[in-house]
């Protein structure tokens, strides 16, 4: 399938700006660039019934959560969301508009996690922040108007990696109990290179960009073999929550996302897999100019409504 014209127009726009590759810029400049693109390319922000920011304690510090509540009578299911950005970029503002739409579409409380970023905070800080945030949400579900028996995790790209890892940690530690996981073009294995990385490295995200993110995130090269960095290396995926796994056809991360979905299925996990064959990495954040981004939000909302997330466990 050929690249979608809206994705091609976006790439042409970046080229017209004299786009400098991510891997050549400092983390600070990349963060500024990501915030600029999200404001310019994202959906218009929808109103929700309520939004509040809350600070919670985590290991060696504290982080902020942003809590979105839909209209209606609770207790609602809860979706804990981890933004993308290669563990180096991203914040609550970057995903604000998509999460407002998801809150309304799925009729769920959405909790956005402002986990600490690399290189200031290397692995496993982001993992621990996201796990502890999910645990806090589960323990305080009633305070949020939610149901502790219906807590799911979700993320895109590096956030998809964190959602997969938190699901593994929750299973292995016995808490919190998660009912679903949503992995949007996730990073699942940085221990080796997959064919899609070289095949689609010229479409917004490149292999050099991935090495940049990894080098900022990891403490040592041995971390690549850690299943909490590369969840695809986990020996046993049995007992994980049902999953929606989404990939993009023109994405260097396509193959590792697809392989993870296949491994989950082989382990007996209920998996819904969908590939947007004509899309590039990151298109959810560009839903203001790419119709496929709006389609993805609708898909996520539809699957969350149709699965066990809305049924008491």
Mean pLDDT in residue range 79-106: 98
pLDDT confidence of residue 308: 46
**Over 90: is that where the pLDDT of 312 sits?**
no
Domain boundaries, the chain: 5-307
For residue 309, pLDDT beyond 60: no
Q: Is the pTM of this model over 0.85?
A: yes
Options 1.10.1740.10, 3.60.15.10, 3.40.50.620, 3.40.50.1820; CATH for 5-307 is 3.40.50.1820
Mean pLDDT of all residues belonging to the chain: 96
Q: What is the pLDDT of residue 18?
A: 83
For 184-238, the pLDDT digits (tens) are: 999 999 999 999 999 998 899 999 999 999 999 999 999 999 999 999 999 999 9
Using a CB cutoff of 8 Å and minimum separation of 24, what contacts does 212-215 make?
Answer: 212/22, 212/23, 212/86, 212/88, 213/86, 213/87, 213/88, 213/118, 213/158, 214/190
User: Which pLDDT value is given to residue 306?
Assistant: 86
Give the pLDDT band (50/70/90) at residue 311.
Answer: very low
So which residues are the catalytic ones?
Answer: 157, 251, 281
Instruction: Read off the pLDDT of each residue in 96-124 and give the average, rounded to a whole number.
Output: 98
Is the pLDDT reported for residue 310 higher than 80? no
What confidence score (pLDDT) does residue 226 get?
A: 98
Q: Which of 95-104, 189-198, 237-246, 303-312 has the lowest mean pLDDT?
A: 303-312
Give the per-residue pLDDT at 20: 86
Whether residue 284 has pLDDT greater than 90: yes
Kindly list the strands in the beta sheet with 180-184, ordered across the sheet, starting from the edge strand earlier in the chain: 50-58, 61-69, 109-114, 76-82, 146-156, 180-184, 243-250, 271-280
């Amino acid at each position: 399938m050929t690249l979608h014209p809206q994705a091609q127009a976006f790439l042409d726009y970046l080229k017209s700006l004299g786009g400098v590759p991510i891997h050549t810029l400092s983390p600070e400049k990349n963060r500024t660039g990501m915030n600029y693109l999200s404001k310019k390319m994202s959906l218009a922000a929808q109103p929700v019934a309520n939004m509040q920011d809350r600070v919670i304690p985590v290991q060696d510090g504290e982080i902020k959560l942003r809590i979105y509540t839909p209209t209606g009578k609770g207790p609602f299911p809860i979706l804990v969301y981890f933004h993308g950005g290669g563990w180096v970029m991203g914040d609550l503002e970057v995903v604000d508009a998509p999460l407002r739409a998801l809150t309304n579409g799925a009729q769920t409380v959405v909790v956005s996690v402002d986990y600490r970023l690399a290189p200031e905070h290397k692995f496993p800080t982001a993992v621990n922040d996201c796990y502890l945030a999910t645990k806090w949400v589960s323990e305080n579900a009633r305070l949020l108007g939610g149901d502790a028996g219906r807590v799911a995790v979700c993320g895109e790209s590096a956030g998809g990696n964190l959602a997969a890892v938190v699901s593994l940690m929750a299973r292995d530690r016995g808490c919190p109990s998660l009912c679903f996981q949503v992995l949007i073009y996730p990073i699942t294995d940085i221990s080796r290179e997959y064919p899609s990385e070289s095949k689609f490295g010229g479409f917004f995200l490149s292999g050099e960009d991935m090495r940049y993110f990894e080098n900022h995130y990891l403490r040592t090269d041995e971390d690549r073999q850690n299943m909490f960095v590369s969840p695809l290396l986990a020996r046993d995926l049995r007992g994980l929550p049902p999953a929606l796994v989404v990939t993009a056809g023109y994405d260097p991360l396509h193959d590792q996302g697809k392989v993870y979905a296949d491994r989950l299925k082989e382990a007996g996990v209920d998996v819904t897999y969908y590939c947007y064959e004509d899309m590039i990495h990151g298109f959810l954040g560009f839903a203001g100019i790419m119709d496929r981004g709006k389609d993805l939000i609708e898909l996520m909302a539809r699957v969350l409504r149709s699965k066990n997330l809305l049924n008491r466990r």
